[in-house]
Chain A
């Protein structure tokens, strides 16, 4: 399977823009028949955008998609399906209220005299399931099965028709070892049949086991396409996370915190399925704790657990100063433990409220409904934060949704800082922000720590984590495996720790 065989699917110069953001920029991608191709990249790299363009869910602003050499334009997922491109999404796109058999055959149920022939529906479904080695009752309701089984049913549905290109988006996230093995057996069979398979997964082991080719994306651009044998695991991770070229000058690396620093928050045995399992964490006054780990390692889950956003299944969380253990964001804020969400647009900023209202929101919520912050005070407060953080445009009445990503992040920070927190947990605060604003935020974090705040800084960019953090916690599979002083680490050594193959594979 080399360049002698023409690619089955080819994407050339794909560019997709959303308002101000460029999700994909001039990306080339190709898939060969009988090959398993993996698409790799961290969050925001553009993987899902590329997949959506390939499967007809999204239109390209520039570039084209070619099937067997001929340019095609998919106007809807249905077009792509008709062309033989089947997708199994990570969020199971099946109907939980219908039976397994019906889900597999929906839309093409065999009929007899105009009425659905249920016997044939069940028998054809059974055949499709058997191909995957699934021995479940086809007449059972889909929702009665585990997510893992539901995922396999989704795959069975995709396979039950003529498929030329199969896209699997995180297919193994809910599967155990046996189920993964079964899936891989099917994938190998499909390879024999000449099907081109796109395998997207953050489990590096699996990628290395089943894939033939890897394409790496970063920040919407193509980093490269490699044969699997040519790419070492560590090189892959390095390419995914990368070094950002053309750095703007920043502060000197922050001096490590004193050993005698006060503990501010402790968490022991924190478990929130399926994200974190038995994680321990300790936050110290005046220190920035960076959190590094690959996708799925549990960074966000841990952050949300210690700030009361998500419920804990078990474990204890204690805020040292008050002895409390917050179970809701409101309680956490009362204990002055605050969280800046990863999804600032959907969970952070309230887009139709003004900048001023967004900044004052949490403070007002703490004050309660009756004790309104006098409008003059609110204005003054908001204005001072806008100035301190350099929020542009400095228009307090502008709806926050109209601001750029960097400024929205600053508004979020202003809201949280207005609460005079003692613990500030920042989840990917610099993602999707321009370089200037990035540096502003990083410097701010350092200043905050200097003034006594305890900061948790989560980022996929290892450089940033090292630069900003005094210590770095390395996460894997929902646990902090190690916490090291950032002094002794380089980007390469951190990379190695983060990318280390799983000894205790599930």
Chain B
């Protein structure tokens, strides 16, 4: 039992379960699932579907944070991929043809992949602080998206495209499968290849990693590219949901939601060890929280207040722990540096 409690995702999971329980008690309808035409409906199902964009973005954010970085451009990237995809569809003679859809999606995510690689270049090669490097695209990204759509909100009518966010497969929302696919791929890439361990090494101690011959540059670059790619897919899902490319609203403020999901899941903002499972739990927690707030009758533009409160609580709770471990870290560093402080001419 003790080992279970000590497991990294125990507390996040427990918090989620508690939150779900509270909801179930307050509104029993929360847990009800109905079946209609072979498709499942209900609050929980909506949760699974609506959490998909955040899930994708948060996965990318987890990897970037693990390298001691941050990606503030993800929201803007969502707007860009939606704009690209919908423009292609809108200008096509056959908006429902599979090739057109494939081209649209492909183009959308390739653009954001390149944008992510650009961020990676700024951080890994030029050494610019991640906050600032990604701030540039956060600023310019939406403008670019608006340009692509000529300043309008492009709308399309394309059933296959709509399917991605509204459709069902095997009774479950298609979007949910997208989430699952992303999670599985990320986990496979991180844990089946050496990428996970090397990323953690780079995040925990970049200098020691360098001395051990780890290719830090490539790893950091890849992290930002992945974040861009995932944000691109998230943008496709979002635009599919509203069947429009709304460059101002797409991914609005999703950055903090993603960062919060990562932090709630137990990954430290200081980089190093990360937990995909934790992020997944974090995403579901946030979605449940939002659903709870809406249920409480709070108008949705006001929900950020609660999110802010949650962040404050999490941060404050983590802080004495942070302080405790920081104290220990300082002591052990002092122990090491005390024997080396007067070494000269380094």
Residues of A within 8 A of B301 (CB): none
Quick one: CB contact mask for A180-208 with B, threshold 8 Å, 1 for yes?
00000000000000000000101000000
A123 vs B240: C-alpha distance in the bound complex, in angstroms?
70
Q: Encode contact with A along B210-223: 1 for CB under 8 Å, 0 otherwise.
A: 11111100110000
Task: State A343–B341 Cα separation when bound (angstroms).
Answer: 11
Q: Determine if B343 and A329 form an interchain contact, defined as CB atoms under 8 angstroms apart.
A: no
B207 touches A90 (CB 8 A): no
For A90, list chain B residues within 8 Å (CB).
Answer: 341-342, 344
- Within 90-111 of A, Cβ neighbours of B (below 8 Å) are at 90
A492, B322: Cα distance in complex, Å: 50
Tally inter-chain residue pairs, CB-CB below 8 A: 148
Residues of B within 8 A of A367 (CB): 194
Which residues of A, 9-49, contact B by the 8 Å Cβ criterion?
18-19, 21, 23, 43-44, 46-49
Which of B214, B219, B333, B338: most chain A CB closer than 10 A? B338
Which residues of A from 339 to 354 have beta carbons under 8 Å from B?
Answer: 339, 341-343, 345-353
Interface mask (B182-212 → A, CB under 8 Å = 1, otherwise 0): 0000000000111101101100110111111
B332 at the interface (CB under 8 A from A): yes
How far, in angstroms, from A328 to B331 measured CA to CA in the complex? 31
* Complex interface: chain B residues within 8 A of A173 (CB): 344-345
User: Contacts A333-B213, A353-B201 known; A347 to B208 CB distance under 8 Å?
Assistant: yes
- Mask for A344-376, Cβ within 8 A of B = 1, else 0? 011111111100010001101111111111000
Known: A298-B345, A431-B339. A365 touches B215 (CB 8 A): yes
In the bound complex, what is the Cα–Cα distance between A401 and B273 (angstroms)? 14
CB atoms of B208 and A346 under 8 A apart: yes
B334 located at the interface, meaning its Cβ lies under 8 Å from any Cβ of chain A in the complex = yes
Q: Do A48 and B273 have beta carbons less than 8 Å apart?
A: no
Verify if B335 is at the interface (C-beta below 8 Å from A): yes
Nearest residue in B to A349 (C-beta to C-beta)?
Answer: B208
Q: How far is the CB of B148 from chain A (nearest CB, A)?
A: 34
CA separation between A353 and B215, bound complex, in Å? Answer: 17
Q: Are A18 and B194 in contact (CB under 8 A)?
A: no
Say whether A170 contacts B344, CB under 8 Å. yes
Q: Which residues of the partner chain B approach A351 to less than 8 Å between Cβ atoms?
A: 204-205
The answer to the question of A275 belonging to the interface, with a C-beta cut-off of 8 Å to chain B, is yes
Q: Kindly state the separation between the CA atoms of A334 and B345 in the bound complex, as whole angstroms.
A: 28
Residues of B within 8 A of A346 (CB): 205, 207-208, 333, 336-337
B interface size (C-beta, 8 A) = 39
- Residues of A within 8 Å of B192, CB to CB, are 372
Which B residues lie within 8 Å of A330 (CB)?
210, 213-215
CA–CA, A70 and B200, complex, Å? 51
- Asked whether A19 lies within 8 Å of B339 as measured between CB atoms, the reply is no
Contacts of A461 in B (CB 8 A): none
- Which residues of A sit under 8 angstroms from B210, Cβ to Cβ? 328-330
> CA separation between A173 and B346, bound complex, in Å?
11
B211–A341 touching, CB < 8 Å: yes
Decide: A350 near B342, CB < 8 A? Known: A19-B331, A369-B219.
no
List B contacts of A7 (CB < 8 A). Answer: none
B272 close to chain A: CB less than 8 A: yes
Q: Is the CB of B344 within 8 A of A44?
A: no
| Chain A min CB distance to B116 (Å) | 17
> Is A410 positioned at the interface, with any CB of B under 8 Å from its CB?
no
Q: How far is the CA of A23 from the CA of B340 in the complex (A)?
A: 12
C-alpha spacing A478/B200, complex, angstroms:
36
Give Cα A353 to B208, complex, Å.
12
Out of A295, A369, A478, name the residue touching B218 (CB < 8 Å).
A369
Residues on A with beta carbons closer than 8 Å to the beta carbon of B332: 18-19, 345, 401
Given A275-B346, A353-B201, also A309-B211 (CB < 8 A): yes
Beta-carbon nearest neighbor of B200 in chain A: A353
Chain A nearest CB: distance from B162 CB in Å? Answer: 37
CB distance from A477 to the nearest CB of B (A): 10
The reply on A86 being an interface residue by CB < 8 A is no
Q: What would 27 A/B residue contacts be, using CB atoms closer than 8 Å?
A: A18-B331, A18-B335, A19-B332, A44-B339, A46-B338, A90-B341, A170-B344, A173-B344, A296-B344, A298-B345, A328-B210, A330-B214, A333-B212, A333-B213, A334-B213, A345-B335, A345-B336, A346-B208, A347-B207, A349-B208, A350-B208, A361-B197, A361-B214, A364-B197, A369-B198, A369-B219, A371-B194
A sample of 11 more A-B contacts (CB under 8 A), given A90-B342, A362-B212, A364-B198, is A43-B342, A47-B341, A52-B338, A295-B343, A333-B212, A334-B213, A343-B340, A346-B205, A364-B197, A368-B215, A369-B193
Closest 7 CB pairs of A and B: A18-B335, A44-B339, A48-B341, A345-B336, A333-B213, A330-B213, A365-B214
